[in-house]
C-alpha cells in the first residue's frame, strides 16, 4: 500500500496546475514553482512531443503490432460540468514492462446545449498535451474517440492521463455551473497498454515479480509454503508475506498457503518457501549455495524449482530471522537495494529500520501543509477550483472530534466578493466555508473543527475549494487579470487518531491493525495445522492485512501453548470444534456457541437455528477479549471443514468482503450473509448522551414530570390555605 500511495503522491502534482483539479499532492522533494512558471517550464519541453492538432482523436481504433500482453486501465464514470472541468486516471508502468503502444478509448455523452464552436477536449499525459478535439452534440448517443499516446512520454512508475474540458453553452461564459452543461465519461472508457516483459537479470529487487505481476494479478498458482513442521516462527513469517502480497492482488485473491509436502497437489506456478534451515528437505538445502552466517541471519534465495518454476526460499537457523527477512521484502526501500539473486538480513535490522522514521506513527500531532504536500496550493482561474490532499494514513485511521484544520491564505483583490468563497471538505462532505473579503485579501484565515457526527469515521482526504468570480465578467481575460488564491504551506492540520474502540467488521481492519501495522496480533492455530487450515488463516490475514506496513506485532501459538501471559493480544483463531481446542475453551463466550458434540450451533436471542441449517454454516464472530480490556477475539467457526470454505470464498473476493458487517456474520453454502449486532453501547463502554437517555426512558421521565408537577401544585395549594387562615385569624383579632 505504501508503494502505491508514494507513487500516486509523486505523480499528482500536475492536478494542481489544472483549472479544476482534484489533485493528489506530491511529497516534499523540492521547492515548487508557481503554476504559470511550471506551465512555462513544461512548455519548453513540448517540441519533443507530437503536435496535438496532428495527433487529433480518431473515430476508428488504431492498429498496432500485436504484443504478448495487454493491460486495460478503466476510468470511473464521471460527469464534468461547468465551463472548465477535468477528470483523469492513473496507471502504473512496472520496471519489467517494455511498452510498445498506448492509446485511450474514450466513450462519452454530451448535453444537447453544448456549443459546437466553443467546446473542446484536450488530453494530457504527465503534463504534456497529446491531443485535442472539438465536442459536438450527436443526437444524444454516446460517442467514442481514440487518442494515441506517444510511448516516449510514458515513464516507469505512476503516470497520469488527464482530460481537460472547456464547454461554453451557447457561446456564453457566464453560466458556470448549469446542470444542463455537461459531458459524461462512461465507465467503459479505458487506456490500453500493449507491452512485453523484459527482465534482463534475476534479482530480488524485482520482488514481487515474478510471483505477482500484471501478467497474474490475482496470484493464481502462487503458493506460500512452510515446512511440514510448521513452526510458529515459520507460520508468522509466511502470514506476513501473505498480507503484503494480498495488498497487490486485484479483485480476487488466489494466493494459497500450504505445507511443503502438499504443494504438488496444488496447481502451482511459483512458490515462496519459508522454513528454518534444518526443516528444509535436502533438495532445497542444496539450493542455498552459501550458508555462511545462516545461524544468525535471514537468507533469501531467488531460484527455480525442479520444474523450472520461480522459487523464493526464505530460511535461517534462527526462527526469529525468518521474520527479519520477510520485513526486508515488505520494505520497498530495502528490497530495491538487493540487486542479486541472494540476500542476507542481519538479526536486529527490522528494529533499526522501524526506528528510522518515528514520525510515521500517526500520533496526535500537527501537520503543516508543507509536510503533507511539499508546499502551498495555488488556485488560478475563474469559477470553482478545488484540490484534494490525500492524507498519508492507512485504512485503520479514524478521525477524532478534536481534529482541527487552520488555513492561512491570500487571494487577488479584483474579485466579486459577493460571490467568492473558500470551502473545506472532509472527503466530499463540507465541514466549513468562508466568504472572501477585500480587506483580508492579503492575509486571511479559516479554522474548522471536525464535526462530531464525522468523528470515528475513516479519513482519506481533505478537499479545499475556491469559488472565484469577477465583477462585470466577460469571456476574454488578460493573463494578469485572472483571479487567483494561494493557501500557505504554513496552514495547520491537527489530526489526532480517534481513541474510540469500534468492534465491527465495518471498521475493518481495526482492531487488528494500528498505525498501518499489525496491532499485537496473536494467531492461535491448532496443535497440528493442516494445509487447509493454514490456507484459511492466510485469507483471514490477507483480508485484515492488505496494505499493512512491516515491523508490526504479529505472533503465532498453538492452542496447547496458550498461557495466562498471552492475554494482551488481539487474537485470531479458526477451525471446527474438533480441530481447534481453543474454540472449545471459549465456546461459552461465542454469540453462537457450538452445540453438544460440536456438530452444529445453538440458537440465541437473535436467531433460532434449525438443526440442519446450523450444521451447514460458517460463523465469523468478533468478541471482546475475555483476557484484556481493549482487545478482541476473531473466531471463524464452522461445523465442518467444508463450511469453513464458505467464509474463505467470501474473504477471497474483494466485492463479497463488503457484505461483512456488524460483529457477527453467518455464511451459508450459497454465500448468503446474515449480519448481527451483539455488542451494545454499554458493553462497548460508550456513554449515552442526554438526548439518548431521555429517549430511552420516556415513560419514567414523563411520570417524574407529572408527579413533580402534582406535588408542586399541592404545595402551592397548602401555602395558599395557610395564608388565608392566618389572614382570617388576624382580621378576627383586630375586630
Strand partners, 189: none
Supply the DSSP string of 453-485, one letter for each residue: GGTTSB--EEEEEEEE-BTT--S---GGGS-EE
Q: Is residue 347 part of a domain?
A: yes
What's the grid cell of residue 555? 505472533
Q: Are residues 350 and 429 in the same domain?
A: no
What's the grid cell of residue 350? 527490522
- pTM here? 0.76
The predicted structure's pLDDT at residue 37: 41
The predicted structure's pLDDT at residue 687: 40
Strand partners, 165: 85, 121
Q: Is residue 104 part of a domain?
A: yes
Instruction: Mark 43-59 as b/e (b = at least 16 C-beta within 10 Å).
Output: eeeeeeebebeebebee
Q: Are 224 and 310 spatial neighbours (Cβ–Cβ below 8 Å)? A: no
**CA 401-405-408 angle, 5° bins:** 165
In terms of Cβ atoms closer than 10 Å to its own Cβ (0-12, 13-18, 19+), residue 371 is middle
Main-chain dihedrals φ then ψ at residue 148, nearest 5 degrees: -75, 135
- The CATH number of whichever domain residue 114 belongs to comes to 2.60.120.260
Give Dmax (Cα) for the chain.
129
- How many whole angstroms separate alpha carbon 414 and alpha carbon 609? 71
- How many whole angstroms separate alpha carbon 464 and alpha carbon 389? 8
What's the grid cell of residue 571? 487474537
Q: Tell me the Cα Rg of the chain.
A: 32
Q: Is residue 378 part of a domain?
A: yes
Query: Which structural domain range is residue 437 located in?
Result: 1-44+364-496
In terms of Cβ atoms closer than 10 Å to its own Cβ (0-12, 13-18, 19+), residue 385 is buried
What's the grid cell of residue 124? 494530457
**CA 496-403-518 angle, 5° bins:** 25
Residues (pLDDT < 50) of the chain are 1-49, 175-177, 359-364, 476-480, 682-694, 696
Residue 341, CA distances (Å) to 203, 324, 596, 625 in order: 5, 18, 54, 44
Q: Are residues 657 and 557 in the same domain?
A: yes
The residues, ordered by sequence, that sit 6+ positions from 169 with a Cβ below 8 Å of its Cβ are: 111, 113, 114, 115, 175, 178, 180, 181
Q: Is residue 156 part of a domain?
A: yes
The predicted structure's pLDDT at residue 640: 93
Q: How far is CA 135 from the centre of its chain?
A: 36
Q: Are residues 456 and 385 in the same domain?
A: yes
In terms of Cβ atoms closer than 10 Å to its own Cβ (0-12, 13-18, 19+), residue 285 is middle
The predicted structure's pLDDT at residue 43: 39
Cα–Cα nearest to 515, from 354, 668, 635: 354
- How many whole angstroms separate alpha carbon 411 and alpha carbon 405? 19
Count of other CB atoms within 10 angstroms of residue 309: 14
Count of other CB atoms within 10 angstroms of residue 474: 8
Q: Are residues 584 and 601 in the same domain?
A: yes
Strand partners, 273: 225, 313
Supply the DSSP string of 653-675, one letter for each residue: BHHHHTT--TTEEEE-TT--EEE
Q: Is residue 658 part of a domain?
A: yes
Instruction: Mark 511-541 as b/e (b = at least 16 C-beta within 10 Å).
Output: bbbbbbbbbbbbbbbbeebbbbbbbbbbbbb
DSSP-based three-state secondary structure for 731: helix
Which domain-ending residue is among 178, 198, 218? 198
Q: Are 335 and 374 spatial neighbours (Cβ–Cβ below 8 Å)? A: no
Q: Is residue 685 part of a domain?
A: no
What's the grid cell of residue 466? 475556491
The predicted structure's pLDDT at residue 734: 62
Q: Are residues 654 and 614 in the same domain?
A: yes
Q: Are 384 and 177 spatial neighbours (Cβ–Cβ below 8 Å)? A: yes
The residues, ordered by sequence, that sit 6+ positions from 9 with a Cβ below 8 Å of its Cβ are: 24, 25, 26, 27, 390, 392
Q: Is residue 204 part of a domain?
A: no
Q: Are residues 283 and 420 in the same domain?
A: no
User: How, if at all, do strands 270-276 and 222-226 pair?
Assistant: parallel
- How many whole angstroms separate alpha carbon 450 and alpha carbon 391? 15
Q: Are residues 34 and 80 in the same domain?
A: no
Instruction: Tell me the HSE value of 85 on the side-chain side, using a 13 A CA sphere.
Output: 18
Q: Are residues 408 and 350 in the same domain?
A: no
Q: Are residues 590 and 724 in the same domain?
A: no
Q: Are residues 520 and 666 in the same domain?
A: yes
- How many whole angstroms separate alpha carbon 449 and alpha carbon 668? 44
- The CATH number of whichever domain residue 524 belongs to comes to 3.30.379
Cα–Cα nearest to 422, from 410, 414, 411, 433: 433
DSSP-based three-state secondary structure for 335: helix
Q: Is residue 94 part of a domain?
A: yes
Q: Are residues 222 and 334 in the same domain?
A: yes
What's the grid cell of residue 73? 486501465
The predicted structure's pLDDT at residue 12: 44
Q: Are residues 55 and 40 in the same domain?
A: no
- The CATH number of whichever domain residue 349 belongs to comes to 3.30.379.10
Which domain-ending residue is among 629, 645, 676? 676
Q: How far is CA 167 from the centre of its chain?
A: 34
Which domain-ending residue is among 297, 323, 354? 354
Strand order in 461-468's β-sheet?
383-390, 461-468, 421-426, 429-435
What's the grid cell of residue 566? 498471552
Number of folded domains that form the chain: 5
Work out whether the CA dihedral 240, 245, 249, 253 comes out positive or negative.
Answer: negative
The residues, ordered by sequence, that sit 6+ positions from 728 with a Cβ below 8 Å of its Cβ are: none
Amino acid at each position: 500500500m505504501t508503494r502505491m500511495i508514494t507513487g500516486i503522491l509523486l505523480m499528482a502534482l500536475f492536478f494542481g496546475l489544472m483549472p479544476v483539479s482534484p489533485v493528489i499532492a506530491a511529497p516534499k522533494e523540492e521547492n515548487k514553482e508557481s503554476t504559470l512558471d511550471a506551465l512555462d517550464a513544461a512548455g519548453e519541453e513540448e517540441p519533443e512531443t507530437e503536435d496535438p492538432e496532428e495527433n487529433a482523436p480518431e473515430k476508428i481504433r488504431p492498429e498496432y503490432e500485436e504484443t504478448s500482453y495487454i493491460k486495460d486501465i478503466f476510468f470511473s464514470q464521471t460527469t464534468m460540468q461547468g465551463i472548465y472541468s477535468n477528470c483523469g486516471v492513473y496507471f502504473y508502468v512496472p520496471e519489467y514492462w517494455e511498452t510498445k503502444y498506448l492509446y485511450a478509448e474514450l466513450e462519452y455523452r454530451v448535453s444537447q446545449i453544448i456549443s459546437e464552436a466553443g467546446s473542446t477536449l484536450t488530453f494530457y499525459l504527465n503534463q504534456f498535451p497529446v491531443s485535442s478535439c472539438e465536442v459536438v452534440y450527436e443526437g444524444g448517443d454516446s460517442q467514442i474517440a481514440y487518442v494515441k499516446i506517444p510511448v516516449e512520454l510514458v515513464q516507469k512508475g505512476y503516470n497520469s492521463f488527464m482530460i481537460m474540458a472547456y464547454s461554453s453553452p451557447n457561446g456564453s461564459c457566464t453560466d458556470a455551473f448549469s446542470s444542463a452543461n455537461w459531458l459524461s465519461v462512461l465507465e467503459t472508457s479505458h487506456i490500453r497498454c500493449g507491452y512485453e516483459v523484459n527482465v534482463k537479470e534475476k534479482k530480488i529487487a524485482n520482488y514481487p515479480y515474478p510471483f505477482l505481476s500484471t501478467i497474474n494479478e490475482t496470484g493464481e498458482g502462487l503458493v506460500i509454503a512452510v515446512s511440514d513442521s510448521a513452526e510458529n516462527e515459520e507460520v508468522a513469517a509466511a502470514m506476513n508475506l501473505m498480507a503484503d502480497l494480498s495488498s497487490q492482488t486485484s479483485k480476487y485473491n488466489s494466493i494459497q498457503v500450504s505445507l511443503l509436502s502438499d504443494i504438488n497437489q496444488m496447481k502451482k506456478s511459483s512458490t515462496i518457501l519459508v522454513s528454518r534451515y534444518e526443516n528444509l528437505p535436502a533438495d532445497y538445502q542444496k539450493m542455498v549455495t552459501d550458508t555462511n552466517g545462516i545461524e544468525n541471519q535471514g537468507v533469501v534465495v531467488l531460484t527455480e524449482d525442479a520444474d523450472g518454476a520461480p522459487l523464493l526460499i526464505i530460511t535461517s537457523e534462527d526462527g526469529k530471522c525468518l521474520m527479519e527477512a520477510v520485513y526486508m521484502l515488505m520494505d520497498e526501500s530495502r528490497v530495491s537495494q538487493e540487486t542479486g539473486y541472494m540476500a542476507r538480513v542481519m538479526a536486529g535490522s527490522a528494529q533499526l529500520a522501524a526506528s528510522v522514521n518515528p514520525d510515521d506513527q500517526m500520533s496526535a500531532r500537527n501537520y503543516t501543509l508543507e509536510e503533507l504536500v511539499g508546499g502551498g496550493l495555488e488556485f488560478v482561474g475563474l469559477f470553482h477550483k478545488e484540490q484534494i490532499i490525500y492524507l498519508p494514513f492507512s485504512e485503520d485511521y479514524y478521525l477524532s472530534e478534536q481534529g482541527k484544520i487552520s488555513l492561512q491564505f491570500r487571494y487577488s483583490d479584483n474579485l466579486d466578493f459577493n460571490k467568492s468563497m473558500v470551502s473545506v471538505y472532509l472527503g466530499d462532505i463540507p465541514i466549513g466555508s468562508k466568504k472572501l473579503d477585500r480587506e483580508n485579501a492579503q492575509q486571511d484565515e479559516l479554522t474548522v473543527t471536525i464535526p462530531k457526527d464525522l468523528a470515528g469515521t475513516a479519513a482519506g482526504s481533505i478537499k479545499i475549494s475556491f469559488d472565484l468570480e469577477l465583477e462585470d465578467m466577460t469571456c476574454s481575460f488578460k493573463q494578469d487579470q485572472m483571479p487567483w488564491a494561494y493557501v500557505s504551506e504554513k496552514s495547520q492540520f491537527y489530526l489526532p487518531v480517534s481513541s474510540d474502540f469500534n468492534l465491527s467488521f465495518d471498521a475493518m481492519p481495526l482492531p487488528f491493525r494500528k498505525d498501518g501495522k499489525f496491532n499485537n496480533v496473536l494467531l492461535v492455530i491448532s496443535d497440528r495445522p493442516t494445509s487447509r487450515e493454514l490456507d484459511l488463516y492466510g485469507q483471514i490475514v490477507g483480508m485484515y492485512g492488505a496494505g499493512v506496513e512491516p515491523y508490526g506485532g504479529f505472533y503465532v501459538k498453538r492452542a496447547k501453548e496458550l498461557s495466562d501471559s498471552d492475554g494482551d493480544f488481539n487474537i485470531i483463531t479458526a477451525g471446527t470444534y474438533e480441530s481447534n481446542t481453543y474454540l472449545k475453551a471459549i465456546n461459552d463466550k461465542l454469540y453462537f456457541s457450538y452445540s453438544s458434540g460440536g456438530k452444529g450451533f445453538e440458537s440465541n436471542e437473535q436467531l433460532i437455528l434449525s438443526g440442519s441449517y446450523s450444521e451447514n454454516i460458517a460463523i465469523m464472530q468478533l468478541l471482546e477479549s475475555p483476557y484484556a480490556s481493549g482487545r478482541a477475539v476473531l473466531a471463524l467457526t464452522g461445523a465442518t471443514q467444508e463450511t469453513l470454505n464458505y467464509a474463505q470464498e467470501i474473504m477471497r473476493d474483494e466485492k463479497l468482503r463488503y457484505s461483512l458487517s456488524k460483529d457477527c456474520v453467518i455464511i451459508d453454502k450459497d454465500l448468503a450473509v446474515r449480519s448481527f449486532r451483539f455488542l451494545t453501547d454499554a458493553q462497548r463502554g460508550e456513554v449515552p448522551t442526554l438526548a439518548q437517555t431521555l429517549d430511552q426512558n420516556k415513560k419514567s421521565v414523563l411520570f417524574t414530570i407529572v408527579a413533580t408537577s402534582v406535588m408542586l401544585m399541592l404545595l402551592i395549594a397548602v401555602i395558599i390555605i395557610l395564608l388565608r387562615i392566618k389572614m382570617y385569624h388576624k382580621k378576627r383579632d383586630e375586630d
